[in-house]
Amino acid sequence: MLNPFSKVDISFDDFRLSARKRLPKLLFEYIDGAASDGSGEAENRKIIRHFRLKTKALINVEQRSLNHKVFRIPTKLPVGIAPMGMVQMAGVGADEEFAKFASKYEIPVGVSTAASMSLEKYAEYSRGYAWFQLYYMADKAELEKLLNRILMAGYKTLIFTVDVPEIGFRPNEIRNGLKVPFKFGPKQIFDFALHPAWSLKTLMNGAPKFGNFTDTNSFNRGASRAGADWDFLRYLRDHWPNKLVIKGVLNTDDAINMKGIGVDGIYVSNHGGRQLASAPHPIEMLPKIRKALGHDVHIFYDSGLRNGEDLIKAYALGANFAFMGRPWSLAYAANNQDGIENYIDYLCKEISVAMAMIGRTKIEEICFDDIYFK
Ligand SMILES: Cc1cc2nc3c(=O)[nH]c(=O)nc-3n(C[C@H](O)[C@H](O)[C@H](O)COP(=O)(O)O)c2cc1C
């Protein structure tokens, strides 16, 4: 029987609150956390709220569709799953469910180098909707081996992340003693004991680990990637035959140079504020980068998108396709696959209402003209 007093999660903040109750603090703060004082993540959200959408009256908007396209491939939703390392920290089976969700709705799912399920399984469960996300690797022989493996698994799109020369300074991770693979001291044991539902299920299924590497020592999450440079990007462009997207771009000069090197997509993002609290606001950089690049390069966006109106703004400000990170993991942590289905269901309802209010019936119709610039 339905409990009339049970809480229903509808908004991002509802799901976040449920996730916070369910997850050990160490893990909640890994997913939810940000660099330095956390202000980068808070600012991402705040600045998106400042943009106003232009409402339009008396336009027939009866037939609205949330279908869209990414690299000319149809999608059933206008939002993708940003690459996230170790999503199994949100709960057992998270990677598999993300991949299946991507397959069901025909949307891209980012597969982090630090994913907790192998890139081959991601390709299989997503039925080819997975995009592999690469971090800089100094060892060219290892890199070529990995690129070959990604190609053999059938990946059509590679995302190269350029905003992690060093992993962000995140005080909560240091305070909580987060280590992958997990290291258990009294503090962590106490934290896990306080969240038995998550802990028992996880411990029965084995603690989260890196899915792309069988030897736990062959991938170091905290390693320096400061050697990445423009020569490396040219090398990558020469050695990766399919679509290449550069993630973590926040200035027009970089974007123009990348376009010159022949990349297929520029992914505007500040890593959700996880790398540098004082980085530029990505939503403000998005229209500038769009203006600088014109329309012959795809532009992707993430950072701070939490609801349907936010997504409309990302499209209005120049994105060809928008992604979210934390919302997926926190909705999964809140209530497994039902969590993500419910969250996305409400998100879509909100997108649809917002489209009606601004007089748009298709995602591709949304443009600069829908933003009210004072
Ligand atoms: C738990 C977590 C892990 C992440 N791991 C990666 C990663 O391995 N590679 C990457 O390029 N970005 C990673 N990101 C950044 C996301 O791809 C994305 O840029 C960010 O989450 C977007 O901001 P949002 O969370 O506000 O939507 C991670 C983000 C989170 C929350």
**Placement of tokens 């990946």 in the chain:** 155
| pLDDT digits 0-9 by tens, 277-332 | 999 999 999 999 999 999 989 999 999 999 999 999 999 999 999 999 999 999 99
The beta strands (E) that lie in 184-287 are given as 243-249, 265-268
The two tokens of residue 33 are 């956390």
The domain segmentation of the chain, as residue ranges, is 12-372
Give the per-residue pLDDT at 3.
65
Give the per-residue pLDDT at 186.
86
Give the per-residue pLDDT at 177.
87
Give the per-residue pLDDT at 216.
64
Q: If you ran DSSP here, which 8-state letter would residue 40 be given?
A: H
Q: What angle do CA 23, 308, 333 make, to 5 degrees?
A: 10
CA–centroid distance, residue 32 to ligand 1 (Å): 10
Architecture in CATH of 12-372: Alpha-Beta Barrel (3.20)
- Say whether pLDDT at 52 is over 80: yes
Give the per-residue pLDDT at 325.
98
Contact 372, 56 (CB under 8 A): no
| pLDDT digits 0-9 by tens, 70-108 | 999 999 999 999 999 999 999 999 999 999 999 999 999
| Test site for ligand 1: of 271, 286, 301, 328, most ligand atoms within 8 A of the Cβ | 271
The closest alpha carbon to 110, from 155, 45, 170, belongs to 155
Q: Is 309 in the pocket of ligand 1 (CB under 6 A)?
A: no
The protein residue with its alpha carbon nearest to ligand 1, atom 10, reads 83
**Placement of tokens 């973590």 in the chain:** 248
Residue in 195, 271, 281, 298 annotated catalytic: 271
| CB environment 236-256: b (16+ within 10 A), e (fewer) | bbeebeebbbbbbbbeeebbe
Catalytic status, residue 271 = yes
Average the pLDDT over 43-56 and give the result. 98
CA–centroid distance, residue 82 to ligand 1 (Å): 6
- Does this model's pTM top 0.85? My answer is yes
Atom of ligand 1 at shortest range from CA of 113: 8
CA–centroid distance, residue 103 to ligand 1 (Å): 20
Contact 32, 16 (CB under 8 A): yes
Contact 317, 286 (CB under 8 A): yes
| pLDDT digits 0-9 by tens, 164-220 | 999 999 999 999 988 877 777 888 888 989 999 888 888 788 888 899 998 766 788
The protein residue with its alpha carbon nearest to ligand 1, atom 6, reads 84
CA–centroid distance, residue 110 to ligand 1 (Å): 10
The protein residue with its alpha carbon nearest to ligand 1, atom 29, reads 84
Give the per-residue pLDDT at 8.
92
Mean of pLDDT over the chain:
95
Q: Is 33 in the pocket of ligand 1 (CB under 6 A)?
A: no
